[in-house]
Homo-oligomer: A and B are copies of this chain.
Amino acid sequence: MSATPAHRVSTGERINDQEPAGRLQRELGARRIRLTRQRRVVLQVMESALRHMDAEEILEQAHKIDPDITRVTVYRTLDLLKRHGLIDELDLLHLRGHRHYYESHGPRDHIHVACVRCGKVREVESELYEQLKQQISRDCGIEISVARTEIGGLCADCRAKA
């Protein structure tokens, strides 16, 4: 293997790398979807996310901006974004219960790699993954619209401690 791998590994510390601010707002605007005060708040929360959040955490963040936002609105807005393919819904292998996590959908699919012990999540992009999707698309005759890969195992740190 060369010193410059064909894939990129990010820490997951910041989800919206190189993402222009207001992307979600602009996407919805372009689709003639109403931008209410509440939606703007939820979008802002999603766009400035530093990590994967579940509905509860998104609600908490939204409350910091506007305490009147309700949980129902958060769910309805997440559903809207999901239906438009603007965010992804994950469960990170149910490592911490059955809640769902959301993240703004970047330009390229990535793989979520989680440690089953400490729960740390890394995001990985890989050329091999793109090839795999192409192969599946071709062989199954499917026009892929969503792809989700979650991998779990013991990370190096946790193996060292054990």
Contact = CB atoms under 8 A, between A and B. Distances in A.
Interface residues of A, number: 43
A129 interface: yes
Interface in A106-158: 111, 113, 115-116, 122, 124, 126, 128-129, 131-133, 135-137, 139-156
A5 interface: yes
A155 B132 contact: no
Nearest to A139: B9
B153 A143 contact: yes
A89 interface: yes
Tell me the number of copies of this protein. 2
A60 interface: no
Contact of A154 (B93, B116, B129, B143): B143
Nearest to A116: B145
Most chain B C-beta atoms within 10 Å of own C-beta, residue among A133, A140, A142, A156: A142
Contacts of A32: none
Contacts of A151: 133, 136, 142, 144, 146-148
A91 B91 contact: yes
Contact of A126 (B136, B143, B149): B136
A136 B151 CA distance: 9
A159 interface: yes
Contacts of A161: none
A113 B142 contact: yes
